[in-house]
């Protein structure tokens, strides 16, 4: 009886979708108990011609993944794991990796009052610990974007102490806030912010400035690894394409399009 009473309820996605019926994102939400990956299901939806803004939410992923193919684990009914299907122009597709984390930052601030930061390019962090991972994948045919999928995994009510492997590198909104956070309220806020950022391209400069100002990476000594290639130096700035501008010890400047950042002491 007690265990059942303490089990968090499933998400009420019908109410969220109804509130977002006029939004570009979230007017259609597929809610599934277990999937291989929400990215996989969103991709299948794209092949079927699903409406832009379709969202796939799952309580558990058996093959959830983050950047560089890493496994992304999520405790059922504690966190949020979802993917958003979009059909952007080629120009807009280049902005998704900056737009998405900014939408998450804004939603976290609105729902919890917490101010998160970013580790380049799009890891969302609180107190130097990861709270949200973002994966953006686009499918191209010739020079045109067939579709793009935004994958978002956010630790909402997880107790980091329950996972010793993640305790020192990950946190959750509830752990930082000191009380549970409504998953429905957070999901609705993120989808609302995504819809606004995606449809109001005239406000792109504002989104870009917020992304840049939230980057805790800038000004720090870092190591950036991409496959077997490693670069070290000071993360000096980002260029107009979102590439990290790294100043090497010999004074040369290199632009890095991607990579795993590690802060150096």
Whether residues 145 and 49 share a domain: the answer is yes
Query: What average pLDDT does the segment 172-183 reach?
Result: 96
Whether residues 225 and 108 share a domain: the answer is no
Q: Can you give the residue range of the structural domain that contains 169?
A: 2-213
pTM, two decimals, is: 0.91
* CATH code for the domain of 96: 3.30.930.10
Task: State pLDDT tens for residues 8-53.
Answer: 888 999 999 999 999 999 999 999 999 999 999 999 999 999 999 9
Whether residues 249 and 190 share a domain: the answer is no
Region of 43 (left: φ > 0; alpha: ψ -120 to 50; beta: rest) is alpha
Whether residues 66 and 190 share a domain: the answer is yes
For 209, the token pair is: 């400035």
Q: 166 pLDDT exceeds 70?
A: no
Residue 238's alpha-carbon distances to 6, 16, 34, 96, 199, in angstroms, are 46, 36, 38, 16, 24
* CATH code for the domain of 251: 2.30.30.100
- What pLDDT score does 125 carry? 97
Task: State pLDDT tens for residues 186-197.
Answer: 999 999 999 999
CB atoms within 10 A of CB 225: 14
Look-up of token digits 């949200």? 132
What percent of the chain shows pLDDT beyond 70? 91
Q: How far apart are the first and last CA of the chain?
A: 50
Task: State pLDDT tens for residues 119-149.
Answer: 999 999 999 999 999 999 999 988 899 999 9
Taking all residues of the chain, what is their mean pLDDT, rounded to a whole number?
Answer: 91
Whether residues 207 and 162 share a domain: the answer is yes
Whether residues 136 and 251 share a domain: the answer is no
Query: What average pLDDT does the segment 193-205 reach?
Result: 87
Nearest to 151 by CA among 17, 19, 35: 35
Whether residues 226 and 141 share a domain: the answer is no
Q: What is the DSSP string of 13-52?
A: HHHHHHHTTTSSSSSSEEEEEEES-HHHHHHHHHHTTPPT
What percent of the chain shows pLDDT beyond 90? 76
Domain count, the chain: 2
Whether residues 140 and 257 share a domain: the answer is no
Confidence bin at 239 (pLDDT 50/70/90): very high
Whether residues 180 and 242 share a domain: the answer is no
Whether residues 240 and 111 share a domain: the answer is no
Whether residues 235 and 202 share a domain: the answer is no
- What pLDDT score does 227 carry? 86
Task: State pLDDT tens for residues 68-106.
Answer: 455 656 678 899 999 999 999 988 999 999 999 999 999
Dist. CA 197–CA 189, nearest whole Å: 12
- What pLDDT score does 6 carry? 66
Whether residues 131 and 74 share a domain: the answer is yes
């Amino acid at each position: 009886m007690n265990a059942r009473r303490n089990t968090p309820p499933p998400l009420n996605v019908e109410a969220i979708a109804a509130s977002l019926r006029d939004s570009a994102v979230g007017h259609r939400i597929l809610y599934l108990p277990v999937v291989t990956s929400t990215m996989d299901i969103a991709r299948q939806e794209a092949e079927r011609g699903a409406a832009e803004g379709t969202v796939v939410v799952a309580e558990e992923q058996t093959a959830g993944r983050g950047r560089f193919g890493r496994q992304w684990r999520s405790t059922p009914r504690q966190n949020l794991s979802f993917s958003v299907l979009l059909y952007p122009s080629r120009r807009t597709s280049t902005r998704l990796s900056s737009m998405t984390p900014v939408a998450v930052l804004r939603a976290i601030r609105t729902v919890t009052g917490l101010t998160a930061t970013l580790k380049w390019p799009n890891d969302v962090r609180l107190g130097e610990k990861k709270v949200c991972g973002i994966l953006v994948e686009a499918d191209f045919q010739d020079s045109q974007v067939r579709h793009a999928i935004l994958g978002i995994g956010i630790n909402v009510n997880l107790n980091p102490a329950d996972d010793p492997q993640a305790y020192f590198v990950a946190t959750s909104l509830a752990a930082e806030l000191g009380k549970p956070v409504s998953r429905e309220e957070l999901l609705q806020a993120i989808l609302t912010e995504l819809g606004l950022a995606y449809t109001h391209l005239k406000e792109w400069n504002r989104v870009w400035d917020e992304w840049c100002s939230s980057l805790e990476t800038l000004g720090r000594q870092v190591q950036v690894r991409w496959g077997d290639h490693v670069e070290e130096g000071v993360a000096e700035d980002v260029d107009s394409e979102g590439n990290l501008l790294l100043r090497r010890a010999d004074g040369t400047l290199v632009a890095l399009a991607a990579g795993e950042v590690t802060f150096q002491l």
